[in-house]
Amino acid sequence: MQPVLTIDLSTGAVGEFVIPVEWERHFLGGASLAARMLYDHLTPELDPLSPEAPLLFLNGPLSGTSGPVTGRFVVCALSPATGLWGESNCGGFWAPELRKAGYDGVWITGRSDQPVYIWIHDGEVALRSAKDHWGLDTYTTQEKIAAELNAGKPSIACIGPAGEAQIPMALILCDHGRVAGRTGMGAVMGAKNLKAVAVKGTQPIPLHDPQTYTAIRSAANRALRQDTLSQSVREMGSAAASDYFDYLGSMPKRGFTRGLMEGVEVISGATIAETILVGITACHACVIACGRVVALEDGKKRKGPEYETLVGFGPILWLLDAAVATRMGELCDRYGMDAISASNTISFAITLFELGIITLADTGGLALAWGDAAVVEELVHLMGKNQGFGSQLAQGARALGRRYGSEERAVQVNGLEVANHDPRGLSGMALVYATSPRGACHNQSDYFMVEIGSADDALGMQYFSRQEGAAKAANVAIHQDWRTIFNALVVCFFGNVPPQTIVDLINPACGLDWTIQDMLLAGERAWNLKRAINNRLGLTRANDKLPQPLLEPLPDGGAAGFVVDFDAMLDAYYTARSWDPQSGYPTRDKLISLDLGWVADDLWPQT
Amino acid sequence: MAGIFPSVEWVTSFKDRLNNDEQYARIAKNWEGDLMFDIQPGGVLTEAVQIYLDLWHGKCRDAYIIDDQHAPEKEAAFVLKAPFPNFARVLQGDLHPMQAMLTRKLDVKGNMPYMMRNVPTVLDFVRCAQDNTNALLGE
């Protein structure tokens, strides 16, 4: 990989960091390599919003290579949302532009005394004033900076007012509404007075064996284009399977308390395709094009909602209007705020209001109720502006629960709000949420796709019943390892590319001679490294849990009456992972077997 | 007797089964769309076989193996295409139909929004096909 640009915003000092070859061989790139680079810096004493806290943008070895779904980069730091490992990846065109500019990452420390943005252009780096852009929403920020730079079509990763206010659910957005949404990476940018990172490059992207790579990626793209899942996602977006998830009882509703909602079929990729869809968008060289372009009553073309936003600002809030979800999603994007965390936290506030724990005196006179789109819109504005009752919600569900003595009712794990895949319908998600290194996340493993059939035997995976218990624990671990590789490369989960094809792409791209097993081992290595980072930050087995609402049976729907046998599942998972059941640490032997002996010495110091 | 899959006897029996299965009739009561199995050579099957099924409101109105004498007037609304061994694994219950689709072992063409809205119908259709399968070519 190319060097990582280092920038100290306090001093303006700019340098380069050359990634050691051994690190690339062990971690490939992306989030895995970021964990290696950040390992020594993420200490319990570090304030994630301090100048000392590093913020790392990183590509993977396939980023920008026109291979299947390879247009992504990742942003990593100590998370202000969780206090643990922070990681969020993003599509669009930023990753390829950075590669073409001669870098594969940007390591940012310090804090500028005035708002700035970074401009990276073919090896040239400049810090430019963002005083005129501070306070602007994310789309307007991109327009203004692009006009100011007048340099063709740069890609601009930026924050909105939520990031400026350093709220823990602040995101980073680039291009046509592509976001690094989770774990509050936008707040870390805001804390550095950094409004945006704009990139533009024209240089060729380095590959070890470009001729071989090009032939394989062309064939892989053709196959991916014809794939049934690709065609479904192209046609219906990420909400393609929403009807099925609803049928299985995995689409959460009314604050994760209901399994049925009359008329919920309007909350689907199919309905959007048949009603408001007017176009599709794609990230760099993507043959799928999951992005939705919709037109509402005003006729204006705008980004349409993906599954998480559609459900988050839909059934979770007892709303059934794709237009409302579209508008709320756009508001979240413009403020620069994660739609999953925002909608989940609003639903929790409504729950507490319904219970009388939150009152009109707390909300500034807003009566919170299920299915009230106007109140939801008002709350989103207040959160994005960090004002009034919104400033309480903006801290996330865990903080809201703590404030009102109801933390156990918040549907979150370790400070990250649960994504919209209910483990009562698809039980593997219980382990995914409980053990993810970044909280209740669906992007360290989209095991819900395995539950509905995407169990690839080439990875040694099996197909289990959707509500099976401990028997599927090892299967979950394999899938987490595999998706850790996706997040290292950094490629999109929607790419239904055969595992062997991915190996066949990596080898000529990186000069490797790997097998699928080598890949899984590298995934397991990084999974355990992220775990070790969190262990050093204070995470133990006690953190591996599900929130109470998910351990209560639903009254109706496809998962009615079912609760996962979580303790048995977690025991089996620990066995599969070779993690110490008392501490929750990877065992010393496991770490050594993964070439992480240097980590073992930290977690298990020898006397 | 259902006959060997794929055969004229299997198709005839499958049509009867679909038309006499109460559960299928209930779940598929709103289904509108004909379907074709495009069984590609593989394993013991040396030449492609195509089976046409006209499915309408929980019933099978017509079913036959496509040949010179029998062919639909237009392409079926849905086409399920896979090599014979993959069809065989699905019919034997060794491969879940959704797993087959999501792991690239079964191509599905047609109105995907309609298909995704009606996954329960599709899965019950597969159940009937499995119940109708006593023997496979080559067994």
CA distance to partner chain A, nearest, from residue B9 (Å): 30
Q: Which of B90, B101, B112, B119 to mutate to test the interface with A (most CBs of A within 10 A)?
A: B112
Segment A475-527, tens digit of pLDDT: 999 999 999 999 999 999 999 999 999 999 999 999 999 999 999 999 999 99
How far is it, in rounded angstroms, from Cα A358 to Cα A194? 35
**Out of B99, B103, B116, closest to residue A241 by CB:** B116
Contacts of residue A93, Cβ cutoff 8 Å, sequence gap at least 6: A71, A155, A174, A175, A283, A284
- Strands B59-65 and B78-83 turn out to be unpaired
**CATH superfamily for domain B4-131:** SCP2 sterol-binding domain (3.30.1050.10)
Q: Which of A224, A228, A457, A468 to mutate to test the interface with B (most CBs of B within 10 A)?
A: A228
Residues in B closer than 8 angstroms to A227, CB to CB, are 104
Q: Which residues of chain A lie closer than 8 angstroms to B102, CB-CB?
A: 228-229, 449, 452-454, 496
The model's confidence at residue B139, banded by pLDDT at 50, 70 and 90, is confident
- List residues of B whose CB lies inside 8 A of any A CB: 96-104, 106-109, 112-114, 116-117, 119-120
Contacts of B117 in chain A (CB under 8 A): 243, 265, 268, 270
DSSP class of residue B77? Answer: S
Rounded to an integer, what distance in angstroms lies between the CA atom of residue A337 and that of residue A348? 17
Angstroms from A471 CA to nearest CA on chain B: 18
What's the rounded Cα separation, in Å, for the pair A489 and A90? 12
Nearest CA in chain B to A465: B96
What's the half-sphere exposure (Cβ side, CA atoms, 13 Å) at A54? 21
Read off the pLDDT of residues A62-114 as tens digits, 9 standing for 90 and up: 999 999 999 999 999 999 999 999 999 999 999 999 999 999 999 999 999 99
Mean pLDDT of chain A: 97
Q: Write out A196-262 in H/E/C secondary structure.
A: EEEEECCCCCCCCCHHHHHHHHHHHHHHHHHCHHHHHHHHHHHHCCHHHHHHHCCCCECCCCECCCC
CA–CA gap between residue A312 and residue A380 (Å, rounded): 12
Contacting residues of A for B112, CB less than 8 Å apart: 228, 231-232, 235-236, 240, 270
- Which fold would CATH assign to domain A428-545+565-603? 1.10.599
Is the CB of B102 less than 8 angstroms away from the CB of A265?
Answer: no
Please give, rounded to a whole number of angstroms, the shortest distance from the CA of A397 to a CA of chain B: 33
Q: What is the pLDDT of residues A107-143, one digit of tens each?
A: 999 999 999 999 999 999 999 999 999 999 999 999 9
- Distance, CA of A21 to CA of A523 (rounded, Å): 17
CB contact under 8 A, A269 and B116: yes
Q: Do B116 and A229 touch (CB under 8 A)?
A: no
Please, where in chain A does CATH 1.10.599.10 lie? 428-545+565-603
Residue in B with minimal Cα distance to A455: B99
Does A457 contact B103 at a Cβ distance shorter than 8 Å? Answer: yes
Domain ranges (residues) in chain B: 4-131
Tell me which CATH code domain A211-417 carries. Answer: 1.10.569.10
Q: State whether the Cα torsion A474-A480-A482-A485 is positive or negative.
A: negative
| Inter-chain CB proximity B116 and A244 less than 8 Å | yes
Residue carrying structure tokens 């046998």: A565
Contacts of B122 in chain A (CB under 8 A): none
**A453 vs B contacts (CB less than 8 Å):** 96-103
Share of chain B above pLDDT 90, in %: 86
User: A108 - beta bridge partners?
Assistant: A7, A55
Q: How confident is the model at residue A320 (pLDDT cuts 50, 70, 90)?
A: very high
pLDDT at B2 over 80: no
**In 10 A of CB A561, how many CB atoms?**
12
Task: With CB atoms and an 8 Å threshold, state whether A227 touches B104.
Answer: yes
**Contact yes or no for A449 and B100 at CB 8 A:** no
Q: What is the pLDDT of residue B1?
A: 61
Q: How much is the pLDDT for A607?
A: 67
Split at pLDDT 50, 70, 90, the class of A186 is very high
- Check CB contact under 8 Å for B103 and A453: yes
A228:B100 CB<8 A: no
Question: Which residue does chain B place closest to A236, by CA atoms?
Answer: B113
> Residue B138 — pLDDT band, cuts 50, 70, 90?
confident
The string of pLDDT tens digits covering residues A400-432 is 999 999 999 999 999 999 999 999 999 999 999
Nearest-angstrom CA–CA distance, A146 and A202:
17
- CA nearest to B123 within chain A: A244
B23-64 pLDDT per residue, tens? 999 999 999 999 999 999 999 999 999 999 999 999 999 999
Q: Residue B109: closest CA among chain A residues belongs to which residue?
A: A228
Confirm if A22 and A54 have CB atoms less than 8 A apart: no
Q: Hey, what CATH class is A4-200 in?
A: alpha beta
Other beta carbons less than 10 A from residue A602's beta carbon: 16
- Residue A431 structure tokens: 């382990």
Residue A36 CA to its chain's centroid (Å): 19
pLDDT at A390: 98
Side-chain-facing half-sphere of A218: CA atoms under 13 Å: 6
What residues in B contact A236, CB-CB < 8 Å? Answer: 112-113, 116
* CB-CB under 8 Å, A265 with B112: no
- Please judge whether A273 and B100 are an interchain contact, meaning their C-beta atoms are less than 8 angstroms apart: no
Nearest CA in chain B to A270: B113
Report the distance separating Cα A316 and Cα A258, nearest Å: 9
Phi-psi region of A599 (alpha: psi -120 to 50; beta: other; left: phi over 0): alpha
Mean pLDDT of A8-14: 98
Per-position DSSP letters for B47-69, written without gaps between them: S-EEEEEEEETTEEEEEEE-SSS
Question: Which residue in A358, A361, A338, A342 sits closest to A406, CA to CA?
Answer: A358
Q: Say which residues have a Cβ less than 8 Å from residue A15's Cβ, sequence separation at least 6.
A: A5, A6
d(CA A552, CA A402): 21
Residue A379 burial (CB < 10 Å; 0-12/13-18/19+)?
buried
Instruction: Give, rounded to a whole angstrom, the gap between the first and last alpha carbons of chain A.
Output: 39
Nearest to B38 by CA among B1, B87, B5: B87
Q: Which of A325, A321, A319, A295 is nearest to A307 (CA)?
A: A325
CA nearest A54: which of A383, A533, A532? A533
What kind and span of H or E run contains B5? Answer: strand B4-5
Minimal Cα–Cα distance from A452 to chain B, Å? 6
What mean pLDDT comes out for the span A559-585? 98
Number of residues written out for chain B = 139
Q: What pLDDT band is residue A454 in, cutting at 50, 70 and 90?
A: very high
Give pLDDT, residue B82: 97
